[in-house]
Amino acid sequence: MPEKNYSEINPAWEGRKPVIVGFLCNWCSYRAADLAGTSRFGYPATLRDIRIMCTGRLDPTFVIKALREGADGVLVMGCHPHQCHYDEGNYKAMRRMALLRRTLAQLGVHPDRIQLGWASAAQGALFTETVAAMTERIAELGPLEWRDTIEDNITPRMPSPEIEEVVHGR
């Protein structure tokens, strides 16, 4: 699949492409990703997938840390409702993701950057479609670059020459 030029969608990309961290459950979505691979389905090379045993194991810390460390989006995928290998891990994921998206919106993270989806082990095509759609959306939203934006404001700094002068003069 040819690589898109994301700066055509949003000039802020400046030659780099979106980074999406994917948390995929061992029993369904990770296998869907495997199936997509063995079936040679093409999809954007934006996803860094991490296998977890169940979406119910997903500590919201993982998502927040991914954003902090430079991800532009996080995709969590598990088994369809009623099909969780552990009965109700995916329901827990749904509740936590709902709460997490509300919380992060207040902190200025667009909810479309944190997405939840399902794909069974047989749905390789659905998996690739989900990744493609999310990549498209993240491309529109532009880079998040949390760390850079925040650290400029967190490292000790003197905001103006005037302050510089006053501080050194005292």
Partner 1 sequence: MAGNGKPKLALYWASSCGGCEIAVLALHEKILDVADAFDIVFWPCVMDFKEADIEAMEDGSIDICLFNGAIRNDDNEHMAHLMRQKSKVMVAFGSCAMEGCMPGLANFADREQMMKFIYHDSPSTDNPEGIEPQLVTEVAEGNLRLPAFWNTVRTLDQVVPVEYYLPGCPPEAKWIEAAVGAILSGELPPPGSVIGLDVTVCDECPRTKNEKKITRFYRPQEIIPDPDICLLEQGIFCAGIATRGGCGALCPQVNMGCRGCYGPNEGVIDGGARLIGAIGSVIEGRTAEDIDAVLDTLPDPAGYFYRFSLPHSLLQRVHLVNDNGRNVAQPIKEVPRLDPGLNV
Residues found near partner 1 in the complex (CB under 8 A): 59-61, 63-65, 67-68, 80-81, 88, 91-92, 94-111, 116-118, 144, 146, 149-150, 152-154, 156, 158-159, 162-163, 166-167, 170
Q: Which is nearer to partner 1, 38 or 106 (CB)?
A: 106
Residue with tokens 């399902």: 118
Collapsing DSSP states into helix, strand and coil, what is residue 48?
Answer: strand
Residue with tokens 């430079």: 70
φ, ψ at 41 (rounded to 5°): -75, 135
The Cα 114–Cα 19 span in angstroms is 12
Q: Which is nearer to partner 1, 40 or 170 (CB)?
A: 170
**Smallest gap, in angstroms, from Cβ of residue 61 to partner 1?**
4
Q: Per residue, what are the HEC states of 146-170?
A: HHHHHHHHHCCCCCCHHHHHHHHHC
**Smallest gap, in angstroms, from Cβ of residue 128 to partner 1?**
17
φ, ψ at 67 (rounded to 5°): -65, -45
Q: Which is nearer to partner 1, 4 or 83 (CB)?
A: 83
Q: Which is nearer to partner 1, 115 or 135 (CB)?
A: 115
**Smallest gap, in angstroms, from Cβ of residue 38 to partner 1?**
26
**Smallest gap, in angstroms, from Cβ of residue 40 to partner 1?**
27
